[in-house]
């Protein structure tokens, strides 16, 4: 088997980035939760969203979509620099599962007649760099970074579930499944040897997350 060269890695990075930002990424065989009838409220006829509710739901789903772009970049960066093969494999598998979320959010944005964030390329590059640095520092810290990222994502998703219009069961179904997956990814990262990050780093990550959510909601 031919050894992967630095040039190969650059090409792989460009390919992954373009697919993440513009489509063509690999997904699993899972169904979109928003298309599953059992997710729809029982004995209720969902009301149509008002223009204001639709705009608000789109803003929240735009944040979630950007979050998945960042997650892809994070996992891809870590997979590039992770030292242990099994850790690289876990990062690659997690990235494929996160692609489901990316696809579901993109589809929901289209249904809401909205578009993804124009800032996605910037957030992708930043997250990829952070992931690559974390992977280079060491696998236990890299995995710990994944776990903390996922836990913060779960907190955001919990908040979004309370803010979504009550009649928007499609977005709610997507976010609910995303939350379940993110918790599983965090648990897997810790079980694989991840270490809890120092509190100052956790707070810095939270601050960066607030900057992202406050801008992407609108842009």
pLDDT digits (tens, 9 = 90+) for 7-38: 777 777 787 778 888 877 777 778 888 887 65
Average pLDDT over residues 83-100: 70
Please, what sign has the CA dihedral across residues 2, 18, 125, 138? negative
> pTM surpassing 0.85?
no
Comparing C-alpha atoms, which of 184, 124, 182 is closest to residue 158? 182
Structural domains of the chain, count: 1
CATH of the domain at 81: 1.20.1260.10
Domain that residue 88 falls in: 6-23+50-216
Q: Evaluate whether residue 45 is within a structural domain.
A: no
**Contact partners, residue 146, CB within 8 Å, separation at least 6:** 74, 75, 78, 91, 94, 185, 186, 189, 194
Q: Evaluate whether residue 34 is within a structural domain.
A: no
**Contact partners, residue 214, CB within 8 Å, separation at least 6:** none
Neighbours of 154 (CB within 10 A): 18
- Three-state SS for 118? coil
Q: What is the pLDDT of residue 134?
A: 72
Q: Evaluate whether residue 126 is within a structural domain.
A: yes
Which position has the token pair 């710990």?
144
């Amino acid at each position: 088997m031919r050894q992967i060269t630095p040039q190969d890695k650059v090409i792989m990075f460009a390919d992954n980035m373009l697919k993440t930002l513009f489509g063509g990424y690999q997904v699993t065989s899972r169904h979109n939760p928003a298309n599953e009838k059992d997710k729809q409220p029982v004995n209720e006829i969902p009301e149509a969203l008002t223009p204001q509710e639709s705009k608000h739901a789109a803003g929240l789903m735009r944040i979630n979509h950007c979050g998945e772009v960042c997650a892809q970049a994070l996992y891809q960066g870590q997979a590039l620099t992770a030292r242990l093969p099994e850790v690289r494999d876990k990062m690659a598998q997690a990235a494929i599962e996160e692609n489901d979320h990316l696809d579901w959010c993109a589809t929901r944005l289209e249904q809401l007649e909205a578009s993804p964030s124009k800032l996605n390329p910037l957030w992708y590059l930043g997250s990829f760099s952070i992931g690559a640095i974390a992977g280079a520092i060491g696998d236990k810290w890299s995995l710990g970074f994944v776990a903390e990222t996922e836990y913060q994502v779960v907190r955001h998703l919990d908040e979004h579930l309370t803010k979504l219009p009550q009649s928007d069961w499609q977005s709610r179904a997507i976010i609910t499944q995303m939350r379940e997956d993110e918790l599983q990814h965090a648990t897997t990262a810790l079980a694989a040897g991840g270490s809890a990050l120092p509190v100052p780093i956790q707070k810095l990550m939270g601050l960066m997350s607030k900057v992202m959510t406050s801008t992407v909601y609108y842009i």
